[in-house]
Amino acid sequence: MKNYPHNPRQNMHAFIPTSARKVVDIGCNTGAFGEGLKNTRSIEVWGVEPNANAAKLASQRLDNVIVSLFDADVPLPDATFDVVIFNDVLEHFAEPWNALRIAARKLRPGGCVVASIPNLRQIDNLIHILKDKDFHYETMGIRDRTHLRFFTRKSILRLFEESGYRVEILEGINEEWWTSSIWRRFGFRIFKDYLEDTKYIQFAVVAFPE
């Protein structure tokens, strides 16, 4: 099973409601994100991680770590968590709609899902497809070879709505588009609205079950 770096993802901390007291991080890897949360606020963080080696490390940092896939049989209590977190995880599911429906059952009334999802329309990815006439899978990033689904801003919104959620926040993160190329700067100036979503490597989502 693939190993990912110990990444605290601090840019996602702001999307976790300050009122949250108990959260679960799906695909928590080695627990970096939850550890960062616990260092900055009073919060109980659980994790679900299928990689036993990563889960062992996460268990040293989080309050409770379950070694499991996130599916209908995951041994997580229902109606328990203020937030279910998917940091660059939903794209690894064959059926992310089912994952979101399972997540809804784990939330307390008023709870939400917070997610980060890679953006297929990020400008460098588009240029790769157009210029190279290719879709070259990589070890990490938007074209990670373990991704089973690919999303744009529009299809992220549709994913959540089709799964029974109301999206409250859908915000681009990790802006990466600026170069010294006069043609790229000119394009973003002329086609500002059309290209706005291509600036971001990921989109952050905060959504509530309806």
Q: Would you say residue 57 has pLDDT above 60? A: yes
- Confidence (pLDDT) at 1: 55
99 exposed, middle or buried (CB, 10 Å; 0-12, 13-18, 19+)?
Answer: buried
HSE toward the beta carbon, residue 55, CA cutoff 13 A: 16
- Confidence (pLDDT) at 188: 87
What is the tens place of the pLDDT at every residue in 75-115? Answer: 999 999 999 999 999 999 999 999 999 999 999 999 999 99
Q: For the CA atoms of the chain, what is the radius of gyration?
A: 18
Residue 16's CB: how many other CB atoms inside 10 A? Answer: 21
What is the tens place of the pLDDT at every residue in 2-25? Answer: 677 788 899 999 999 999 999 999
DSSP characters for 45-80? EEEE-S-HHHHHHHTTTSSEEE-S-SSTT----SS-
CA dihedral angle for residue 30, residue 81, residue 166, residue 38, rounded to 10 degrees: -50
Pick 191 or 114 by higher pLDDT.
Answer: 114
**CA 62 – CA 85 distance, rounded (Å):** 14
Q: Would you say residue 137 has pLDDT above 60? A: yes
What is the tens place of the pLDDT at every residue in 143-182? Answer: 999 999 999 999 999 999 999 999 999 999 998 787 667 7
Name the amino acid, one letter, at 24: V
Phi, psi torsion values for 2, nearest 5 degrees? -70, 140
| CATH no., domain 10-121+138-177+200-209 | 3.40.50.150
Global confidence as pTM: 0.94
